[in-house]
Amino acid sequence: MKILVIGGGGREHAIAWRLKQSPGVSEVIASPGNPGIAQLGRCLPAPATAAGFADLAQTERVDLTVVGPEAPLVAGVVDEFRARSLKIVGPTRAAAQLEGSKIFAKQFFSRAGIPTARSVETGSAEQALDTIKRFTLPVVIKADGLAAGKGVIIAHTTDEAKRAVETLGPLLVIEEFLEGEEVSFIGISNGREVLPLEASQDHKRVGDGDTGPNTGGMGAYCDGRILTAEQTGIVMDRVMNPAVARMAAEGMPFTGFLYAGLMMTPDGPKVLEFNVRLGDPETQALMHRLEGGFVEALQFAAGGERVRLQWKQDPSVCVVLAAQGYPAKPRLGDPINGIEQAEAVCAVVFHAGTKLSSDRLVTAGGRVLGITASGRTLRTAIENAYSAAAKVHFDGLHFRRDIGANGLKRW
């Protein structure tokens, strides 16, 4: 089977890496891919349109396409493929609104009875400021559209709230601040049923101990103990199954990866957001830990039979190495060294923001590499990832030192 991966970040490198080792996969290609993926298969420039991707899949005689990022999904790449009877994993443009618009998502949670934070939508700055007065601080302020994880501000003072409204614009969701353990819960659906992946945890803030601005994610870990079997059952019953059932009932069956960002509150899980794709960097940790069944799960989402995923016992950890200035304004073009040495420490180095510039690997994005390792215990997995990370160097490199530490505290 020949598989096309759309995208070119760390998540797509991890998907391609897992696929490349899967029985029955003869070739993996990517568009646009990145220098890490290029070591596994051909990378082709990304076309500008959904039709361009479908042309590419036809020319290359691809058997199945997997979409990594949300942008092509929101642009309707799945609709285009289906119109040409090409197999693809991802939601249609209509279903992708679950991520594309926070307002759509909040209204959907309400229609589907999915537990979430109490919230109010606003359409003008005046209304937003008025609404904020009715919430206790801290209050959470979210921009409506896609913002790569950076459209959310938690305001602790009225002044911070005012500035957030100025920064994010008038189309907002204002919501109550929830406390609890944050969990990334991802399922894969064929439009009728959902197959859960293992739960993982992301680290969204740039600094140790969850300080500083939000990022796309500074690291993740996957450990079978993040949720108990009972909690997983509750998430399936209250969140995943109702979401898929309601989307189908509303004429927008959800196919592909459904990612619920959950807060595990004393009242049970509440959904902070839905994403319509795999998480980044959660996928790097998930793919490292996944043992078997991935290709079959993709086929299930593209219209096939329900399958079982097999997971390794060993927890996995992904530490993101970020560029100078990330998340505000990452500096690009810094030469990268030490990847081979890092891999020699029993880690996989997933490329996220790298490129080749006259044969030198240089930084080309905010999140540069995802150093991913496992271990018999979570502590060993963390140690392995950090020993490998220590081998990599580029100017201005920064990373969090506490990826997975939350798990060590809990168990």
Footprint of ligand GLY on this chain (CB under 6 A)? Answer: 149, 202, 217, 275, 279-280, 282
The yes or no reply on residue 204 touching ligand AMP (CB under 6 A) is: yes
Report if residue 182 touches ligand AMP, rule: CB under 6 A: yes
How many Cα atoms occupy the beta-carbon half-sphere of 9 within 13 Å?
21
- Give residue for tokens 């196919």: 255
> What count of other Cβ atoms lies within 10 Å of the Cβ of residue 100?
20
Strand partners, 195: 188
Q: Which residue has tokens 């991913």?
A: 372
Tell me the CA end-to-end span of the chain in Å, nearest whole number. Answer: 41
Residue nearest to ligand AMP as judged by C-beta position: 273
Min. distance of Cβ 281 from ligand GLY in angstroms? Answer: 6
DSSP state of 176: E
Work out what residue 117 binds among ligand GLY, ligand AMP, none; the CB cut-off runs from 5 to 8 Å by kind.
Answer: ligand AMP
Show the tokens assigned to 246. Answer: 């309601």
Q: Is 220 in the site for ligand AMP (CB under 6 A)?
A: no
**Would you say 178 or 307 has its CB closer to ligand AMP?**
178
Instruction: Using the minimum distance from each CB to ligand GLY, give the nearer residue, 11 or 238.
Output: 11
Shortest distance, position 159 Cβ to ligand GLY, whole Å: 28
User: How does strand 2-7 pair with strand 27-32?
Assistant: parallel
Task: Count residues binding ligand AMP (CB under 6 A).
Answer: 15
Query: Do residues 352 and 368 lie in contact, with contact meaning Cβ atoms separated by under 8 Å?
Result: yes
Q: Give the nearer residue to ligand GLY in terms of CB position, either 276 or 301.
A: 276
Considering only residues 371 to 400 of the shown chain, the ones binding ligand AMP according to CB under 6 A are none
Contact 263, 181 (CB under 8 A): yes
Residue for token pair 């760390």:
10
Residue 275 Cβ vs ligand GLY, minimum distance, rounded to whole Å: 5
- Residues 119-148, one symbol each (x = binds ligand AMP by CB under 6 A, - = not), give ---------------------x-x------
- Alpha-carbon distance of 9 to 32, in angstroms, equals 9
Contact set with ligand AMP (CB under 6 A)? 117, 140, 142, 149, 152, 154, 175, 177-178, 182, 204, 214, 261, 272-273
